[in-house]
Structure 1
């Protein structure tokens, strides 16, 4: 990995560390979900970077891909188990992290276990380890009272690419792909007291430009705005759309030019926790750089 590229990954990680601290401070009962997302995304922009994707605020059995809409009315409850998934990029080079909060204290043990599982993965990961070995190691760290979410994985990162082709399961597997020095990856185990399987729910508020031609004038104009996200996921909150543009976005989804992500939920409605850090494998003279960890 070139030094200038490494530095951009590190710079994104430093901003994300600030965003994590702020997220913990503001994720209090009674706080509006839109406020939480907007404040975290605003901090990233104030630091001179851009969000790599909309802040995900997935609660309880929702595992991923919930991001609030404009004029969101939902507020955080004391009983909510909130996964806060945050990303920032420095000229396209991404830092991706997630934490779980619950102010009631009921899920402290589960949240702490998830953190420990992630830490064990970070300690084990090094150049030469295979994806299968890492997944098996992660799986072996999970106590019997919890299940690993099987169909959510970590992933590789690349310039303006959040999911760069390599999936990193958190379960026993035989993938012989080798982690190499300089690989940028996000490691993110999810735990649950449910069955450990995720299904697609209703459409959320996260989108992705997929290409293709469109005909309508409003659709073309809106697509110009969307292309400014450089192929990274975006929220309708970021577009400040008119009524016609909202309809145009629906047409872009229908045409396949834009992907509309569904919210992911645990099939047995089991509570889900998440912990995630971004790693530059062996990038410091053979040692890992965990860009999002203080």
Structure 2
């Protein structure tokens, strides 16, 4: 956290001068017209010290107030491995790093600002989420905190995507819709996945909560697999080989439930991904199993390294009511026959652009009775829907995720915190 500079003590000469001036001011003045001596004394106004801002509970004070110079904390720094280790000391790459900072001076700071907001919001979420709360209450607490701390301002800063609160066999893409009354239970395994963006630079990070110890090993396995993915990631690393490392770590764990042992399986059809400005899925995928993808990670890219583990079949299918949507980046220009669809598209363009949104966000933007129009936009290929992704009923899934930045000299885990 930025701190105000300390007051620099005055030099001795300056102190003496001030003392002399005060003595002269206290001396009797020349007699006035009435013959009486008048005394003048200058009263010094006490210097008002700037009050340092303090964060509220729940956190609602904008993050820029704590970092007035616009410089935010770095994430965890990891040196590149093996063939990339030379980058840390290379003069050429240090020069490249300086050039990035000068030419795109706000890129790193925008990402770090979003990451600092994520850390503060999730710290409060981890402290307060408890069985008995509704999913809507949990989501709105997270989103209200995000909007306040990032100082939501149109496309300048705001929520990166809808808060995912997938439970048990549901691994991803569940967020409560308007009117949802689902309540978190004691035995649930809850994935909390939310994003923050500053000028389109999205920080994507997720964690899993459980409230009794049965599935502790599942959470441990997935967290370890994510850490492996982060450790092995780097410039020129092939995505298929990275998937193999994640798989090996995940499959070294097992979970015992009521005397029966379940292997932890990576969910083979879910993945991490690169991130582009205002686009959560940037085109490259980090699968969780070994594969033949020879695509390489490149300098300057940033990725969400996320892994999912399951006690079930290790494969998800679409299941349940859709909450997540996003306008396609390459949406076709098609004639929309519904006037309501045209109006809804204007709202989507004005409030979200290509950032993902959910039905609650449309309601918040003032839309009402929009489902027919929304489905029409989906059917025309203008908007993509993302249904909940679930493994088999009775299984449990877990998720951990961090955003990493592949800088020229080092790898920065921008969303790393004290919690995970």
TM > 0.5: yes
Alignment-derived partner of residue 199 in structure 1: 317
Question: Once the 2 structures are TM-superposed, how far is the Cα of residue 269 of structure 1 from its aligned partner?
Answer: 4.5
Deviating more after overlay: 250-259 vs 58-67: 250-259
User: Is the 2:222–2:308 contact (alpha carbons within 8 Å) kept by the matching residues of 1?
Assistant: yes
2-structure distance, mates of 1:249, 1:88: 24
Is 1:148 the counterpart of 2:266 in the alignment? yes
Are the aligned partners of 2:186 and 2:212 in contact in 1 as well (CA < 8 Å)? yes
Q: Determine if the alignment matches structure 1 residue 33 to structure 2 residue 138.
A: no
What whole-Å deviation, never above 9, does each CA across 1:256-291 have from its counterpart, x for those lacking one? 33222211111464211000000002x1x5221111
Q: Give me the CA root mean square deviation.
A: 1.7
Query: 1:1-294 residue pairs with structure 2 within 5 A?
Result: 2-47=104-149, 48=151, 49-142=157-250, 143=252, 145-210=263-328, 211=331, 212-213=333-334, 214-227=336-349, 228-240=351-363, 243-267=368-392, 269-281=394-406, 283=407, 286-294=409-417
Q: Is contact 2:221-2:249 (8 Å) kept?
A: no
Query: Which ranges of structure 2 fall in alignment gaps of 5 or more residues?
Result: 1-99, 152-156, 254-262
Q: Is contact 1:203–1:261 with CA below 8 Å preserved after alignment?
A: no
Q: How many residues align?
A: 292
Distance 1:76 1:223, change over 3 A: same
CA distance in 1, matches of 2:246, 2:370: 45
TM-score between both structures, scaled by the size of structure 1: 0.93
More relative contact order in 1 or in 2 (CA 8 Å, sep 6+)? 1
Q: Distance in 1 between matches of 2:245 and 2:386?
A: 30
Cα deviation code 1:25-84 (max 9, x no counterpart): 232100110111111111111011311110011000001110101232111001110011
Please state whether the residue corresponding to 1:239 is helix, strand or coil: helix
TM-score using structure 2 length: 0.66
Q: Is the 8 A contact 2:221 2:264 kept in 1?
A: no
Cα separation, partners in 2 of 1:60 and 1:220, compared to 1, 3 Å? same
Contact 2:308 2:400 in 1 (8 A): yes
- Determine helix, strand or coil for the equivalent of 1:51: strand
| Contact 1:183–1:280 (8 Å) recurs in 2 | yes
Tell me the distance in 1 between the aligned counterparts of 2:162 and 2:359: 9
**Structure number having the greater strand percentage:** 1
Per mean C-alpha deviation after superposition, the further-off stretch among 270-279 and 3-12 is 3-12
> How far apart are residue 245 of structure 1 and its match?
2.9
- Contact 1:218–1:244 (Cα < 8 Å) also in 2: no
**The 10-residue stretch of structure 1 (67-76 or 263-272) with the greater mean CA deviation from structure 2:** 263-272
CA distance in 1, matches of 2:195, 2:324: 13
> How far does residue 176 in structure 1 lie from its aligned partner after superposition?
1.9
Which deviations, in whole Å up to 9, do the C-alpha atoms of 1:115-148 show, x marking residues without a partner?
1221122122222322122111111112152111
Check the 8 A contact 1:95/1:278 in 2, yes or no.
yes
